[in-house]
Amino acid sequence: MFIKTKNHNIEWSNKLVEVVAKFPEIVSFYRMSGEIDYLLKVIVKDLDDFDMFYKKLISEVQLDNVTSSFSLEEIKNTTELPIKLN
């Protein structure tokens, strides 16, 4: 999920952090530079589950502009870092 907000104050930001912590579906959460303010990686079973998740999320915190994209196929997913230790 990509979130843009008009709320650039510490109270709203703290509220968002508090709300995100409640949702196990959100596995990654980033504050971004550029046109998108926040990026959330959300894992759910299907679109119906996403719809339920989304409705719960917006009932907890006001979001001005939300865009969601869905992965059609996982081609590569790793947590391994490309760092060689001597």
Tokens in use for 62?
Answer: 């006001």
User: Given this model, what pLDDT does residue 58 score?
Assistant: 94
Q: Cα dihedral angle (28, 33, 38, 42), rounded to 10 degrees?
A: -30
Output the pTM of the full model.
0.83
Q: Which CATH number fits domain 2-67: 3.30.70.920, 3.40.630.10, 1.10.275.10, 1.10.10.10?
A: 3.30.70.920
Task: Indicate whether 81 pLDDT > 90.
Answer: no
Where residue 75 falls among pLDDT bands split at 50, 70, 90? Answer: very high
User: Given this model, what pLDDT does residue 54 score?
Assistant: 96
| 7-46 pLDDT tens trace | 889 999 999 999 999 999 999 999 999 999 999 999 999 9
Residue with the two structure tokens 């915190």: 61
